[in-house]
Amino acid sequence: MVRLKLLSLLCLVLVFVACTASGEPVEGESFIPANKDESSASVSKSSSSQNTPKIDSTFFGMFDWVKVPEASITRGINSFGVNSFFIATTEVTQKIYKLIMKDLPTQSKEGDERAVSNVSWYRAALFCNAISKLSGLDTAYVYKSISRDSILVDLTIDYSAASVRLPTENEWEIAARGGTTTTYYWDVDEASKYAYYGQSAGPDSVAQKLPNEFGLYDMAGNVAEWVNDWYDAYPKKQSDNYTGPVKGDYRVVRGGGWSDKVSDIAPKERGKLDPAASKVTLGFRLVYSAGF
């Protein structure tokens, strides 16, 4: 009888070890990959993925990442599905931007841990490519050349690449809502607990307010955030992993910034701006995807 109990206990231990040794993060759980010099961690693209990338955490690990589960968002009568992806828990800070890009645009309020602002969409895309390369990943933004004003000539976005990039508009809103369907992700609680808004000067340090249910900070207020999509009316047909119109004049801006009123920082609100332009109220946040 004692021997049977010991065998049963041993089986349970082996099952537990097998489940935890895979290193696969669960939805809503933070994730930081191992350095290549250690036991390298990988992120699964899907059950059909063959070779998952090995990520160097030296630069990738400067951010905490949360896995957003596969989900869908309804716009009108249409539902748009989005594959699971990873998103940084905070906006890019001035310190990290300067470390990667070797310069810093003029900031209305300087501080290492303050969200970086005054960054054009093109410069944000170049940052994503730079941190992808430093992390041993592919790059999502493919272009022929860079003009004097940092415009990426003949640009395409490779969504099949395992890379760091800006979120699509649907990815951003699903992440911002944190599984909620209310006007604000804090529902009827006091907005100032969750968002830095209605201010007269400059962004705050990141993660000073309460996060949403996914553990993401400043998805409303602080700095508004660039997303990948060209701005246009939402499509009238259902489309999974929708990446926006093929071309346009403006890129979508989401989340509202430090100077906005509360009605402008709700997850559904949209803004737009020329991708070559920049604003002191506008920054960006990163996602990692193994491609779709």
Name which residue leads in pLDDT, 285 or 30.
285
**Residue 148 has what pLDDT?**
85
DSSP-derived pairing of the beta strands 224-230 and 282-283: parallel
**Residue 149 has what pLDDT?**
82
Q: Tell me if 198 is assigned to some domain.
A: yes
The pTM assigned to this predicted structure is 0.84
**Residue 276 has what pLDDT?**
97
- Band (37; pLDDT cuts 50, 70, 90): very low
- Band (150; pLDDT cuts 50, 70, 90): confident
Q: Tell me if 14 is assigned to some domain.
A: no
**Residue 33 has what pLDDT?**
44
Q: Return the percentage of the chain with pLDDT > 90, whole number.
A: 78
- Band (52; pLDDT cuts 50, 70, 90): low
Q: Tell me if 216 is assigned to some domain.
A: yes
Q: Tell me if 5 is assigned to some domain.
A: no
d(CA 152, CA 251): 14
Q: Tell me if 10 is assigned to some domain.
A: no
Domain holding 39, by residue range, is 25-289
Q: Tell me if 9 is assigned to some domain.
A: no
Q: What is the mean pLDDT of the chain?
A: 86
Domain count, the chain: 1
In this prediction, residues 182-198 reach a mean pLDDT of 98
Name which residue leads in pLDDT, 48 or 55.
55
Indicate if the pLDDT at residue 22 is higher than 70: no
Q: Tell me if 17 is assigned to some domain.
A: no
pLDDT in tens, 249-286: 999 999 999 999 999 999 999 999 999 999 999 999 99
Give the CATH number for residue 179.
3.90.1580.10
What is the full DSSP assignment across 138-201? --SEE-SEE-TT--EET-EE-TTS-EEEPPPHHHHHHHHHTT--SSSTTTTS-GGGT-B-S-SS
Indicate if the pLDDT at residue 11 is higher than 60: no
**Residue 77 has what pLDDT?**
87
Indicate if the pLDDT at residue 44 is higher than 90: no
In this prediction, residues 123-141 reach a mean pLDDT of 97
pLDDT in tens, 204-225: 999 999 999 999 999 999 999 9
- Band (76; pLDDT cuts 50, 70, 90): confident
Q: Tell me if 15 is assigned to some domain.
A: no
H/E stretch holding 259 reads none
Residues 6+ apart with CB under 8 A from 43: 25, 31, 33, 52, 53, 55, 86, 162, 288, 290
